[in-house]
Amino acid sequence: MTLVLHHKEFVSARLGPVWHDLLSRGYAVLNEALLGIPKTVRHHLLDTYFNSGVLEADLPAVHTDRDRARDVVRYQWAGRRLWLSEHDTVEILDRGGFAGPRTPARVELLSDPLAVRFIERGLALVPPSLRQQKGTFGINLFRTRSHVVTGHHRDYEEFILVYLLDKQGSGGAETRLHDSVDPSHIIFRKTLSPGDLIIFRDNLFLHSVTPLSNSAGGRSVRDALVCTVNYPETYTYL
Question: How do the domains of the chain map onto residue ranges?
Answer: 8-234
Closest CA relative to residue 227, chosen from 114, 135, 143, 141:
141
CATH 2.40.440.10 fits 8-234, yes or no: no
At 169 the pLDDT is: 78
Look at 192 and 63; give whichever has higher pLDDT. 192
Q: Does residue 215 surpass a pLDDT of 70?
A: no
238 falls in which pLDDT band (50, 70, 90)?
very low
pLDDT tens, position by position, 49-72: 999 999 998 776 666 778 999 999
At 214 the pLDDT is: 73
DSSP 153: B
At 10 the pLDDT is: 46
- Once rounded to an integer, what is the mean pLDDT over residues 223-238? 87
Q: Does residue 79 surpass a pLDDT of 70?
A: yes
- Look up the pTM and report it: 0.92
Percent helix, percent strand, percent coil in the chain, to nearest 5: 25, 40, 35
pLDDT tens, position by position, 117-156: 999 999 999 999 999 999 999 999 999 987 666 678 788 8
Minimum mean pLDDT among 25-29, 129-133, 172-176: which range? 172-176
Phi-psi region of 94 (alpha: psi -120 to 50; beta: other; left: phi over 0): left
- Once rounded to an integer, what is the mean pLDDT over residues 81-104? 82
